Amino acid sequence: MRGLFISNVVPWPLAAGDKIRAYHLVRAAAKVMDLTLVCFAYDEGEQRDLDAVAPLVRESFLVPRETCRYRTAAQLPRARRILAGLRGYLHPTRPVLFDAWESKEAQQLVQRLACRRFDVAFVEWLGGMPLLGSLENARRFVNLNDVLYRRLKYRLTRTRPDRLTPLEGLEYLKLRRLERRLARLPYEFLVCSEPDRQAIGGGPRVWVVPNGVESLPALPAPTDASNECLLLFIGEMSYAPNVDAVTFFARRVFPTIRRANPLARFMVVGRNPVDVVRALDDGSAITVTGAVSSVQPYLEKANVVVIPIRYGGGTRLKILEAMGHGRAVVSTSVGVEGIDARPEEHLLIADGPDSFAQACLRLTRDSRLRARLTAAAYRLVRTRYEWDSIERRVQEIILGDHAEPPGAEQNGARREHGLAAKTMRDIG
* Distances 84 to 89, 95, 365 between C-alpha atoms, Å: 9, 14, 56
Tell whether 42 and 116 lie within a shared domain.
Answer: yes
Same structural domain for residues 329 and 234?
Answer: yes
Q: What is the pLDDT of residue 407?
A: 41
The rounded distance, in Å, linking the Cα atoms of 128 and 146 is: 14
* Backbone φ and ψ of 96, nearest 5°: -70, -20
Co-location of 30 and 125 in the same domain: yes
Domain end among 385, 402, 417: 385
Residue 193 lies in a domain: yes
Helix (H) or strand (E) holding 99: helix 96-100
Q: Are residues 405 and 367 in the same domain?
A: no
What is the pLDDT at residue 71? 84
Q: What CATH number has the domain bearing residue 7?
A: 3.40.50.2000
Does residue 257 sit in the same domain as residue 201?
A: no
Q: Has residue 219 been placed in a domain?
A: no
CB-count exposure of residue 141 (10 Å: 0-12, 13-18, 19+) = buried
Helix (H) or strand (E) holding 245: helix 240-248
Residues 358, 413, single domain; the answer is no
The total domain count for the chain is 2
Tell me which residue of 296, 287, 285, 359 sits closest to 328, measured CA to CA. Answer: 359
> Are 176 and 300 part of one and the same domain?
no
Q: Between vectors from CA 289 to CA 286 and to CA 292, what angle results, nearest 5°? A: 150
Is 198 within the bounds of a domain? yes
Answer yes or no: is 136 within a domain. yes
Torsion angle of the four alpha carbons 321, 324, 325, 331, in this order, in degrees rounded to the nearest 10:
60
Give CA–CA dist 333/307, Å, rounded.
10
Q: Per-residue pLDDT for the chain (428 aa), expressed as one digit of tens each?
A: 999 999 999 999 988 888 999 999 999 999 999 999 999 998 878 989 999 999 999 999 999 999 998 888 777 787 777 787 787 788 899 999 999 999 999 999 999 999 989 999 999 999 999 999 999 999 999 999 989 998 888 888 877 887 888 888 999 999 999 999 999 999 999 999 888 999 999 999 999 999 999 877 777 777 655 556 899 999 999 988 899 999 999 999 999 999 999 999 999 999 999 999 999 999 999 999 999 988 889 998 999 999 999 987 656 788 999 999 999 999 999 899 889 999 999 999 999 999 999 999 999 999 999 999 999 999 999 999 999 999 999 999 999 865 444 443 344 444 555 656 667 667 76
pTM here is 0.86
Among residues 32, 35, 47, 33, which one has the least CA distance to residue 4? 35
Contact 330, 257 (CB under 8 A): no
Looking at the fold, whether 361 and 407 belong to one and the same domain comes out as no
Range of the domain at 349: 230-385
Indicate whether 279 and 366 sit together in one domain.
Answer: yes
Q: Among 17, 14, 236, 242, which Cα is nearest to 124's?
A: 17
Residues 142 and 172 in one domain: yes
- Is there a single domain that holds both residue 336 and residue 278? yes
Q: Could you tell me if residue 122 is inside a domain? A: yes
CB 72 within 8 A of CB 40: no
Structural domain includes residue 348 = yes
Do residue 198 and residue 141 come from a single domain? yes
Alpha carbon 371 to chain centroid distance? 29
pLDDT at 217: 77
Residue pair 156/169 in contact (Cβ under 8 Å)? The answer is yes
Residue 222 placed within a domain: no
Interior/surface letters 125-135, b for 16+ CB within 10 angstroms, e for the rest? bbbbbbbbebb
Contacts 24+ apart (CB under 8 A), 194-197: 194/338, 195/313, 195/337, 195/338, 196/144, 196/146, 196/147, 196/313, 196/314, 196/338
Cα–Cα distance, 12 to 10 (Å, whole number): 6
Cα distances (Å, whole numbers) of residue 26 to 2, 12, 33, 225, 385:
13, 11, 10, 42, 17
Q: Residue 296 CA to chain centroid, in angstroms?
A: 21
How is 357-394 classified by DSSP, letter by letter?
A: HHHHHHHHH-HHHHHHHHHHHHHHHHHH-BHHHHHHHH
* 168: number of Cβ within 10 Å: 15
311 neighbors 305 (Cβ within 8 angstroms): no
In a domain, 223, yes or no: no
User: How confident is the model at residue 98, as a pLDDT?
Assistant: 93
- Contacts made by residues 247-255, CB under 8 angstroms, sequence distance 24+: 247/276, 247/277, 247/280, 248/308, 248/310, 248/353, 249/306, 249/308, 249/356, 250/280, 250/286, 252/353, 253/306, 253/308, 253/353, 253/356, 253/357, 253/360, 254/285, 254/286, 254/357
